[in-house]
Amino acid sequence: MKVFLKLALFYGIINVFIEESLFNYPEYFPKTKYDFSKNNLSKTKIELGRMLFYDPILSIDSTISCESCHSPYNAFSHTDHRLSHGINDKIGKRNAPPLFNLAWKSSFMRDGAVNHLDMQSLVPITDSLEMGNSLDNLLYKLKKNQKYITMFYEAFGDSTINLDRVLKSISQFELTLISKNSKYDRFRLGEDHFSDQEIRGYELFKKNCSNCHKEPMFTNYKFENNFLDINQVLLDSGRFSITKNSDDFMSFEVPSLRNLSYTYPYMHDGRFSNLFEVLKHYSGPKFNSVSLTEKETIDIISFLLTLNDKEFILNPENKFPVNKLLK
């Protein structure tokens, strides 16, 4: 019994050590929301998830992958595209959000329709405007593919390919997309300093924006109505479509402000193509408390640019798995 307990303890310690080496973040980040005990991170599962993320095999006609709308160079969003793209040149209903720091989130999609990271990828896979696939067909395609048979074996110890394993592997890769190396982060760690303009912008940011875009994740993870008029073509009412609560009409998830340079256009429908347009909206008559001068606007933007994480977007571990996918 004692031997068994010792072995269990040893296994637990090893697991914690492995997890820490695969998933680490600064001390000033809050506690994660994702329950790693139900999906222990491993190198082989992350690698499998990366492969699935970049492989168009997920779509019905093998033309669209997750990366199609979530490119690493765009902090896993789709820069310069207002709405997401799908199979047969179909256009989706929303602007593809960037993907990073997902372990801290407990709801997904702009309206919070999805309650767990593991279940999120079901939406694009089955949406007729995105990958348009059926789950049966997805598994059929994967089971026929020798590369995946081998990779599932390496990741799980046997070559069974099922949806649970597919979803959890994609989650594993997505969980490792951590943006934590911006100038702001270095500033927090005392490794860099802000210019006078950035400090002025930071102070203005704290006064006017930090209620919703709370540091250090730059979101409060809530749904807010920021007084956007409803798009008359898309008729997207946001969180209201999920809760049917009139208070939620035109409420959308507060996005993180990290990596803004790589993730334009902005808002749920990509209606603003640059940060000046965004700040003009917030300085408008609907926001009585915020009235920014041109200089203040530039100062705030200068601070926001310190949230860009170039190291994150260039991280080779996050990129297209050339050796495996093109072999």
Partner 1 sequence: MSNKFEKFAATCGFFFKYFISFLFIFFTYNLFPQENIEFQATFNNEATKLNKNYSIRKYHFNIKKLKFYVSNISYYNRKNDEIFTDEKVYLVDLNNPKSLKIKSQINKKSQLYSFDLGLDSVINVSGSLGGALDPIEGMYWAWQSGYINFKIEWESNMCSNDNNQFIFHLGGYKKPYYNKRTVLVKKRHIHRLIFNLNKFLKKINCDRQMIMSPSLKGENISNLIVKSFEFKK
Chain residues in the site for partner 1 (CB under 8 A): 35, 38-39, 113-119, 122-123, 125-127, 135-136, 139, 162-164, 167-168, 171, 242
- Could you tell me the smallest distance in angstroms from the CB atom of residue 131 to partner 1? 11
- 3-class secondary-structure state, position 91: strand
Secondary structure of 193-261 in the HEC alphabet? CCCHHHHHHHHHHHHHCCCCCCCCCCCCCCEECCCCCCCCCCCCCECHHHHCCHHHCCEEECCCCCCHH
Q: Which CB, 44 or 315, lies closer to partner 1?
A: 44
Nearest-angstrom CA–CA distance, 146 and 161: 11
CB nearer to partner 1: give 74 or 171: 171
Q: Which of 287, 93, 268, 256 is nearest to 179 (CA)?
A: 256
Give least dist CB 18 to partner 1, A: 21
Q: Which is nearer to partner 1, 71 or 171 (CB)?
A: 171
Instruction: Round to whole Å and give the CA distance between 287 and 285.
Output: 5
Q: Which two tokens stand for residue 151?
A: 């990779």
Does residue 79 contact residue 98 with C-beta atoms inside 8 Å?
A: no
- Smallest gap from Cβ 84 to partner 1, in A, equals 14
Question: What's the one-letter identity of residue 209?
Answer: C
Query: Toward partner 1, which CB reaches closer, 2 or 38?
Result: 38
In sequence order, what are the beta bridge partners of 253?
A: 223
Provide, rounded to whole angstroms, the least separation between the CB of residue 5 and partner 1. 25
Closest to partner 1 by CB, 166 vs 275, is: 166
Q: What is the DSSP string of 105-167?
A: -S-BSTT--B--HHHHTHHHHH-TTTT---HHHHHHHHHT-HHHHHHHHHHHSS----HHHHH
Other Cβ atoms less than 10 A from the Cβ of 89: the count is 7
> Cβ 312 to partner 1, closest distance in Å?
25
Nearer to partner 1, 68 or 171 (CB): 171
* Residue placing its CB nearer to partner 1 in the complex, 237 or 259: 237
Measured distance CA(305)–CA(279) in Å, rounded: 14
* Min dist. Cβ of residue 47 to partner 1 (A): 19
> φ and ψ at 194, to 5 degrees?
-85, 150
For residue 198, the minimal CB distance to partner 1 (Å) is 39
Length of the chain: 327
Are 97 and 110 in contact, with CB atoms under 8 Å apart?
A: yes
Least distance to partner 1, CB of residue 232, Å: 22
Nearer residue to partner 1 within complex by CB, 115 or 195 = 115
Neighbouring-strand partners of residue 85: 91
CB of 33 to partner 1, least distance (A): 11
> Which amino acid does the sequence have at 26?
P
Whether the upstream peptide bond of residue 285 has omega within 30° of 0, thus cis, is no
Nearer CB in complex with partner 1: 136/229: 136
